[in-house]
Amino acid sequence: MAHTVARTLTWMAIAAGLVALVAVAPVRAGAGASAGTVPRLIFPVVGPVTYSNDFGAPRSGHRHQGNDIMAAKKSLAVAVEAGTVSFWTHSASAGCMLYLHGKSGTVYQYVHLNNDVTMKNDNRGKCVAGTAYAKGLKDGASVVAGQHIAFVGDSGDANGIASHLHFEVHPKGGAAVSPYRYLKKARVLLYAAKLKTSLSLTLGGTFIACDTTNDTLKMRVTSLLASNGYHLAKISHIVVFTLSPDTLVVDKDGNQRSLGSLANVAAKTAIEVATTSAQVILDTELPKVQALTTLSVSVLG
């Protein structure tokens, strides 16, 4: 996860001119509000991001109450923990916004969600499911950790400035605290898709190691294409795959090789891995050890 200070300082200079964020509605504590502790989170945005500890930074007439996670327009925002969601659709400053009332009792605010129909800043969309919120998501719905709930955008007083997610953390539904330490420790998703559907992945990157004794392949993933058309580039995840006896291994000339030949591949060699179809659950969305099984490995270097 990159924490690019230079880019964030530029954003802070731009954002200093924004109007007040985000006193749009009282924060309501969710179920289990007596718990009091913020759990280890799922990182709220999937794909390339930059952010820094800008909580408390000066803004026009107030202090920044969250962290700005800079990401491409319409990047997927996901539930950081299980809970229920509520939509907030009528704030000039926040734009399209969502509350996640976590089961821990912590309330999270997702601010400046998408309101554009195209990838341009057209402002033709509304704060509705399919534009600002995940398709099919309903106000008041229960969600699980890692579930797609919203799209990153630039609505409200971020209009036309920079696409990002303003993310706030309110333990016990109270005053905002800096999200930074929770973001640093959060588990980052490899991808996000509709849960319990079946999906296969094609992943590009570089070879790290192969353990033929334990039937595992480790690689650094830098690009991803899912069978539903979802794609990501410029990512960096270390993933360990399960090797199947039926895994097809092909060299750069298209010649088929034995599974054992992977043990001789040099580190940092370019490879492409295709996975078998698997049901989408949190374990398969995380870069978790052996959660995905290889269908084929193409050695490109």
Mean pLDDT, residues 35-55: 90
5 — pLDDT class (breaks 50, 70, 90): very low
Query: What pLDDT shows up at residue 91?
Result: 83
Side chain identity at residue 28, one-letter code:
R
User: Does some domain include residue 240?
Assistant: yes
- Give the range of the structural domain holding residue 290, as residue numbers without chain letter: 198-299
One domain, residues 221 and 102 = no
CATH number reported for the structural domain that contains residue 245 in this entry = 2.40.50.320
Mean pLDDT, residues 58-78: 85
For the stretch 112-149, pLDDT in tens is: 999 999 999 999 999 999 999 999 999 999 999 999 99
User: Does some domain include residue 146?
Assistant: yes
Give how many domains the chain has, as a whole number: 2
For the stretch 248-268, pLDDT in tens is: 999 999 999 999 999 999 999
CATH number reported for the structural domain that contains residue 124 in this entry = 2.70.70.10
Of 138, 160, 185, the one marking the end of a domain is 185
pTM here? Answer: 0.86
- Number of neighbouring beta carbons within 10 Å of residue 195: 16
Mean pLDDT of the chain: 88
Mean pLDDT, residues 44-49: 98
- Number of neighbouring beta carbons within 10 Å of residue 15: 23
For the stretch 290-301, pLDDT in tens is: 999 999 999 999
User: Does some domain include residue 237?
Assistant: yes
